[in-house]
Structure 1
Amino acid sequence: MPFDPADFIGTGVDHFSSSGNWYPATFNTAGTVWYYCTLHAELDDLDEDEDGVIEAGEPDFGKMIGRINVAAGPVDSTGPVTSSVGASPDPTNGVASVTLTATVDDSATGGSNIAAAEYFVDVVGANGSGTAMSATDASFNSVSESVIATVDVSALALGPHNLFVQGRDSDGNWGSTDVVAFSITVAPAGTEIMTIQLNGGSLSVTTNPVDFGTLSLTGLEQTIDTQPTPWTAADARGTGTGWNVTVSSTDFASASGTITVDNSKIRLQDVNVVTVSGNAPPTSLVTSYQPMSTSPLAVLSAAIGNGKGTYDLTPDMRQIVPADITPGVYEAFLTVSINSGP
C-alpha cells in the first residue's frame, strides 16, 4: 500500500488492529522513521513537544517505541548499452537518405528507463550534441528501446562513412557509442532511381453481429452455438510492435428478464484465424470456451514482429439459456477492441 513516513508521526493513523498484524511499507527516500505502539506509548513519549521533529533526548526508550533507519538505495551511474546499429540502404546507390536503427538497453547497467538517443556522422561529439533519434514505438518509456532516425546523406562525399549511436537513461547517464559503417555510392550507370513514400496506417478491427436465432424453451437448460460472419483485424502501422484483440459483453436483457453475461461464452480456434495478407498470423488465447464478462477478455494476440497485415477471425459463440428464463426478445451489447502490444 502507499506509504508516507509522516504516517508514523503525529497523524493518529492506526496501522495495526491486534497482535500479529503487520503493515507493509515501501520507503522511497533515505532517512529515519520513528514509530510507537498506541497501547503502550503516546506521541509525547516519542516527540515531547509534538512539533513533528524527533530531537536528541526526546524519545523515551522505556516505552514501546522504535525507529527504522532507511539507507540510500543504489544509484544508477552507468549509461545504457547501444547495439544492433544498422543503416539502410547500404550502399546508398544514389539515394539521399538512409534509415538508421539501433537498440539502446539499460537492463544490465542500472535498470533505468531509456530517455533519449542520438547519432553522429563520422565524428563523435559531446554527449547531447548529436542529432536526436526517436523511439520506434514513439515513446521512451522502458528499460530497452528500439530507436530510429532518417539520416540525410546527400551532402556526404562518395565512399565509406560511419554512423555512431548512443543513448541516455532517465538518470542522465550517457552510454558509449556503437557504430555502423556504410558506403555512399552513385546510382549504377544506365539506371534511374525510383522512390516511394510509405506512411504507416492504423490498427483496426471490423466486426459483424452475432445471431443465436430462435429457440423454444423446454424447461431444461439449453445451449446454442453459432458463428458470426468473419471479423477482420488489420495492422497497417508497419511497426511490428504487436497487438491484441479483447471482447466484453453486457447481460442479455429484455422486458421479460435477464440472462447474466457469464452465460455467454467465446472460443477462437487457430484454424479459424486466416491470413488475408501479411506475415506470421496472430494466435488465439481462448482455444476452449471461456465465459465473457463486462471486463475485456483477451482472445487473440500478435507477437512482436508478427501480425503485420490483415487477418480474418471467426469465433465460436455459445449461449447458455437457463431453464427458468422468461420468453422474450433478448439483446446484449458485445464490444470488440484491438489494442497495441501483444
Structure 2
Amino acid sequence: MKRKFYQFGISLLLFFGLLTGGTQAVTAAGAVVITGEGAPSLSAITVGDFSGVTLDGTTQTTTLALPSFTVTDATGTGAGWNVNLSATQFSEADPGTKTLSTGSLTLTTAPDVALADTESSPTNTVTVADAGPSATIDEGSGIKLLSAAVNGGMGSYTIGGTTPAVLTLTLKPKEVYETTYNSTLTFTVSTGP
C-alpha cells in the first residue's frame, strides 16, 4: 500500500507541476549584420549619336534621347546621392581644329524616375533637374541631373524608362562646318544630395 501511495504522490506532484507553470520558455536573441555597398552606383549607359543635319544657313537643332539607366543606392547610410551630367566641348573629329561654342548642348526634356524595386524609397525623394536653355551640359561642370534627399533615394531607380532625358544640340551657322563633331558625355554619381 505504501508503494501505491508513493506512486500516487509522485503522479500528483507531476500533475500539479504541469498545472502550476511547470513549462519552461527559452528565449534567444537573434541578430543580423547589414553591410552596405561603399557608394551609390549607375548601370552601364551607352549613348548613341545625334541625328545628322543638312545645313540650311539658319540656326538648327538636333536631338538625342538618352537611354534609360538604373541608379542604385545600396549603401544603407541614408546619405542621399546625386547624378551629375557633363559633356566636353564639341570638336571636329578629323582633323580636330574646329569646335562648336560651349553652351550648345542643353537638357530639353527631363527624365522620369520610377522604382526599380517596389520597396525602394518613394520616387518623390528624388529630384530631377529642370530642363530648358539654362540646363547647359557642355560648359563648366554640367548639371545636377538627379538628386536624392538625405534618408531618401535608398534602393534602385529606373531613370528615363517612360520619358527619356532629351539633349538638344544647337548649331549656329556662323560656326558650323561640314564635318563630324564629337563630345564625350560623363555621368557621375556621388554621395550626398
TM-score scaled to structure 2, two decimals?
0.70
User: Which residue does the alignment assign to 2:151?
Assistant: 305
Moved over 4 A (4+): 192-196
CA drift at 1:338: 1.0
For residues 225 and 333 of structure 1, the distance between their equivalents in structure 2, rounded to whole angstroms, comes to 15
User: Are 1:222 and 2:60 an aligned pair?
Assistant: yes
**Partner Cα separation in structure 1 for residue 145 and residue 108 of structure 2:** 8
SS at structure 1 position matched to 2:82: strand
Gaps in structure 1 of 5+ consecutive residues: 1-184
Report what 1:244 is aligned to: 82
1:199 matched to 2:55: no
CA contact (8 A) 1:268 1:284 kept: no
Question: Aligned in 2, Cα 1:312/1:260: closer, same or farther, shift over 3 Å?
Answer: farther
Question: Higher strand fraction: Structure 1 or Structure 2?
Answer: 1
Gaps of 5+ in 2: 1-24
Partner of 2:189: 338
Shift of 1:204: 1.0
CA RMSD between the two structures: 2.3
For the 8 Å contact 1:235–1:307, the answer to whether it is kept is yes
Deviations for 1:55-93, whole angstroms, at most 9, x for unmatched residues? xxxxxxxxxxxxxxxxxxxxxxxxxxxxxxxxxxxxxxx
1:291 matched to which residue of 2? Answer: 136
Structure 1 counterpart of 2:122, one-letter code:
A
d(CA) in 1 for partners of 2:48 and 2:167? 8
Q: Does the 8 Å contact 2:87/2:183 carry over to 1?
A: yes
What is the CA–CA distance in structure 2 between the aligned matches of 1:258 and 1:313, rounded to whole Å? 31
Alignment length, in residue pairs? 153
Counterpart Cα distance in 2 of 1:197 and 1:264: 46
> 2-side partners of 1:334 and 1:205: how far apart?
14
> What aligned pairs does 1:124-139 form with structure 2 within 5 A after superposition?
none
* 1:316 maps to 2:163: no
| Structure with the larger RCO, 1 or 2 (CA within 8 Å, 6+ apart) | 2
3-state SS in 1 of match to 2:178: coil
Partners in 2 of 1:194 and 1:268 — Cα distance? 49
Q: Percent identity?
A: 25
CA contact (8 A) 2:121 2:154 kept: yes
> What does residue 11 of structure 2 align with?
none
CA distance in 1, matches of 2:29, 2:116: 32
Amino acid at match of 1:265: T
Which structure has the highest helix share of the two? 2
1:318 Cα shift? 0.7
